[in-house]
Structure 1
Amino acid sequence: MVKWVLRRSSGTDNPHATDLKMGAAFDPIVSSLYAIDYDLFPEFLTVVSQSENWGFSKASFRFHENMDQHELAQVSAVSGRKMKPGEVLIMEEQAGAVLLDSASFFRLVFDYGSALLANKASRDLVANEWKADMHRALALIAARLQS
């Protein structure tokens, strides 16, 4: 079972106002989540709630069911093993790649998104529209967790 610790960031250098601690093997996940601009986080949550791939300049989140055979064949080269159905490949340019089962992935992004919403809104001035978008996106992830 994958474990993580979330806490409010004590400094202002973290734009998410949230620290995520996981084992070193999960550095690609931490780096990938940190790389997402906070204002894009509702979109990220909405996209991945539908098991759709998400990617940007330095990081990507790819679902097994949305990869073709050629892509799946290349996963072991970056992650060290074959990807199984129901897994998510998380890659970050500097930190590398890791595979995570989708149930743990959805729990993590829900927990992280919830902490981001609470911590960012209490530390910085954020638009009410962003908060509403985050609540809607988190509800989509929560629905995935219940299914």
Structure 2
Amino acid sequence: MTGPTTHPQRTEQIQLLAIRDTPLSLDEVFAAVGHDRAGGTALFVGTVRDHDGAVKGPAVTELAYSAHPSAEAELRRVAEKIVADFPVEALAAVHRVGDLGVGDLAVIVAVACPHRGEAFDAARRLIDDLKREVPIWKHQSFVDGTQEWVGACA
């Protein structure tokens, strides 16, 4: 397994980036990263769960994502870093905003690389950096009537 290395600045590998208020499609994302030189494709799907994983507490009843107007530009910046640091043949990332229910797809990222280890590493870093750096916030409502924002600046 190899770690990140610096590759010449390339952006043609970025096939699909979007923040949408409509349901996400695994087929669309997977098709976007198909590439003849890719021996490995890693796909990550984030779904809405019925609880908040950070703490034990009441069940989640509603969830809504909001994005800052700069979110798509920040998503592109994150994707460009992944393409620069890994031997990416194709990359895609989509995130949903708006009201979502338990089981709905919230985010899908996919990376195709020459080898599986590179694809896994690149996809992991893509989702981690997306969650950390792209201004998308989650508002959760719980069965006991409480609410919380996740990822919002205080």
Question: Shorter-chain TM-score category?
Answer: 0.3 to 0.5
| TM, length-normalised to structure 2 | 0.31
Find the structure with the greater CA-based Rg: 2
- Greater fraction of residues in helix: 1
More strand per residue: 1 or 2? 2
Q: Give the TM-score normalised by structure 1.
A: 0.32
